[in-house]
Structure 1
Amino acid sequence: MAESNNDRAALTARTIPHMTLSSGTTSSMTGPPAPMPHYLTAEGRAIKRFAVGGIAILTGGAGNLALVIARALLEHGLEGLALFDLDPSEAESDITDLKTDFPTAEIMTTQVDVTDAEQLRLCVEDVVKELGSVDILICFAGVVGCTHAVDMSAAEWKRTLDINTTGAFLSAQAVARQMIKQGTGGSILFTASISAYRTNYPQPQAAYNASKAALISLKSSLAAEWAVHGIRVNSMSPGYMDTILNAGDGIEEARRTWAKRNPMGRMGVPEELTGIVVLLCSGAGTYIHGADFVVDGGQCCF
């Protein structure tokens, strides 16, 4: 009883930390961007508006979505790229193509487990040593499983949340610490899902849905805390994408169901995510913060 009373006394006597919000002045990390130079032509202004600079880290970097996004960022001027993945060698050919097609960009690969905070810290340090800074983080690392909830093991539940949600948080934390140290701000983008908004059909995937819904909340929390440092945090929520994760004869019936329930009558392709990513990583997105962008062909209309 005495211990319980002590715990209660400590609870009622506690103080809590308070967030610091930015002042938004020109001298703060969230001041308005400088006006476009007058000497630029209309074409020059258009190019500059969506120019992407600096160094980006992509987790799950050997995956199809990440590689398509990487190419788009490089096309818009990204100077350096670090692809974090459990096994970067799986995409060796595609990564070689990126290096060939963008010879002036510095591209590195690193074997990383996003659930290991210390490993992430060291890998971010390596990126800074090799490429100079970290200005953009996009989290693609994730897993999906389709198991009836009554049959799901605790291990499967924990693994899904650990990789999809905790892995995204630890990646963002490691990068945010570096961005704060640099004093340069930056852009962090989570890959959530339409599964965060409504239960998918016909496949049962409670753990995946919960992990993505948590990312939407995490995005907002970090956006509130990190704006003062000039770090913008957003997320995108793709619908069903035509990638290796949704391929194979075994899920053909599910693919037909997804298409029938979509106003556009089809799945998306990875290239259709590039516009949102470029927007959020470029100068065109400087006042977009704490937002989630659903890119699903209208799937969530129903």
Structure 2
Amino acid sequence: MMYRTSRKFCKSLFPTKFLAGSSLAARSFSTVARRNDRFKLPNGINNNGSSEFEGTLARTDSTVQVEHPSESDLPTSEPVKGRGGFHHKRTLPSFSLEGKVGVVTGGARGLGLVMSQSLIISGGDLAIVDLDKQEAERQAVELLATFKRENSAEVRLPKITAYHVDVADSASVETAVAEIINSHGKIDSLVTSAGFCENFEAITYPVDRLKKLWDVNVNGTYFFATAVARHLISRKAQGNMVFIGSMSGSVVNVPQPQAPYNASKAAVRHLAASFTVEWAAASIRVNCISPGYMVTELTKRILDKNPDLRKQWTALVPQGRLGKPEDLMGSVAFLLSEASQYVTGADLRVDGRYTLT
């Protein structure tokens, strides 16, 4: 029996988007599944795109061009307004954080600062929590100044506040949460980015440093999450939390020795899963983002002094490059917004495919 596929141009709200390789195109999963069910490759036909058959990889003839829909083909709708300006009308309104108050621990530096920027760009108000009070206050001023500079016509400015908090101290956390609620009126979302990593061999790891690492990475996440959860439950309000884990919570990175750090990030990932089950009835979603190697200012200084380590790390990343902190902005905005309202307990790995090899 001969099987044939036919191609038709169709006006769709979701235009074909070409990915890596001239012949690989993105389609909706449902479309791919239907095609795979209907068109099975006969024996002897390969999947390299050279035949007239379409296989399970959904390869598309590179000569076929699907036109981007014109404005007249799109449904009429107003652009989505966020504090970063007007989003393109093809952006789902559910990605906006307008009217939401977010808290970012460790939000004045490194990956936490990028999370803070993402919340502001997506339309939210922000409470920056950091152990470095001066840096938190400086970044709050800088973020607002940047927003004014890039959105000169915006009438309503985001409210950005800064707080000095030791996340490893439950009393300090409780005080900060109360101050944030007093200033902003509420808390809707939480990003726990406070954490650190040290490299010691397991048999010589200083006990005091081991306890400090666990207090900050694990207990700090626990203290802040439970404090915010109590507030949300008392308000009978929906809430979203994102814990910043690490690919090190799933794999053992080499060559650096960091067993306690790896264990702490595995604990953070499982805390997210445990909390989201426990708080499901309260409509509190908890997800985890596990970044791969991200070139923060601190990491860059380390790698600049050790080019061989940079080469080794890069060689282990299938995508061929180390991550940029900005690679995380879309992920955190997605998980904090209504666009991910049915996503909970997930571990989103942003690692350039590192953990797949």
Aligning the two structures, in what range does the TM-score lie when normalised by the shorter sequence? 0.7 to 0.9
Number of corresponding residues: 264
Distance apart, 1:139 and its partner CA? 0.5
Aligned position for 2:283: 230
Q: Deviations over 1:50-72 (max 9, x none)?
A: 11131001000111212222222
Aligned position for 1:88: 133
d(CA) in 2 for partners of 1:57, 1:88: 15
Q: Deviations over 1:68-107 (max 9, x none)?
A: 22222211111x2110101131255443221123351111
Alignment of 1:131-280 (within 5 A): 131-248=184-301, 249-280=304-335
Distance apart, 1:180 and its partner CA? 0.8
Aligned position for 1:77: 123
Larger Rg: 1 or 2?
2
Aligned position for 2:146: 101
Query: Given that residues 106 and 113 in structure 2 are in contact (C-alpha distance below 8 angstroms), is that contact kept between their aligned partners in structure 1?
Result: no
Distance apart, 1:150 and its partner CA? 1.1
Higher relative contact order (CA 8 A, sep 6+): 1
Q: TM-score, normalised by structure 2?
A: 0.71
Q: State which of 158, 176, 182 in structure 2 corresponds to 1:129.
A: 182
Aligned position for 1:52: 97
d(CA) in 1 for partners of 2:275, 2:184: 25
Q: Structure 2: which amino acid aligns with 1:65?
A: L
Aligned position for 1:21: none
> More helix by proportion, 1 or 2?
1
d(CA) in 1 for partners of 2:307, 2:215: 29
Q: Structure 2: which amino acid aligns with 1:218?
A: L
Query: Given that residues 107 and 115 in structure 2 are in contact (C-alpha distance below 8 angstroms), is that contact kept between their aligned partners in structure 1?
Result: no
**Residue 348 of structure 2 aligns to a residue in which SS?**
strand
Distance apart, 1:39 and its partner CA? 7.3
Distance apart, 1:47 and its partner CA? 4.4
d(CA) in 1 for partners of 2:190, 2:136: 19
Deviates further, 247-256 or 235-244: 247-256
d(CA) in 1 for partners of 2:176, 2:138: 23
Aligned position for 1:11: none
Distance apart, 1:113 and its partner CA? 0.3
Q: State which of 39, 54, 64 in structure 1 corresponds to 2:110.
A: 64
Aligned position for 1:17: none
Aligned position for 2:77: 40
Query: Given that residues 81 and 105 in structure 1 are in contact (C-alpha distance below 8 angstroms), is that contact kept between their aligned partners in structure 2?
Result: yes
Alignment of 1:102-121 (within 5 A): 102=147, 104-121=157-174
Give ranges in structure 2 of 5+ residues lacking alignment. 1-74, 80-87, 149-156
Q: State which of 335, 340, 347 in structure 2 corresponds to 1:292.
A: 347
Q: Structure 2: which amino acid aligns with 1:66?
A: G
**Residue 82 of structure 1 aligns to a residue in which SS?**
strand
Aligned position for 1:26: none
**Residue 295 of structure 2 aligns to a residue in which SS?**
coil
d(CA) in 1 for partners of 2:76, 2:185: 30
Distance apart, 1:41 and its partner CA? 4.8
Q: TM-score, normalised by structure 1?
A: 0.83
Query: Given that residues 61 and 88 in structure 1 are in contact (C-alpha distance below 8 angstroms), is that contact kept between their aligned partners in structure 2?
Result: no
Q: RMSD across aligned C-alpha pairs, in angstroms?
A: 1.7
d(CA) in 2 for partners of 1:284, 1:108: 26
Query: Given that residues 136 and 162 in structure 2 are in contact (C-alpha distance below 8 angstroms), is that contact kept between their aligned partners in structure 1?
Result: no
d(CA) in 1 for partners of 2:126, 2:299: 27
Q: Structure 2: which amino acid aligns with 1:90?
A: E
Q: Structure 2: which amino acid aligns with 1:85?
A: D
Query: Given that residues 245 and 291 in structure 2 are in contact (C-alpha distance below 8 angstroms), is that contact kept between their aligned partners in structure 1?
Result: yes
Deviates further, 153-162 or 214-223: 153-162
**Residue 46 of structure 1 aligns to a residue in which SS?**
coil
- Indicate how the Cα distance of structure 1 residues 76 and 157 shifts in structure 2: closer, same or farther if over 3 A, else same: same
Q: Deviations over 1:249-296 (max 9, x none)?
A: 444322211101111221100110011111111110100000000000
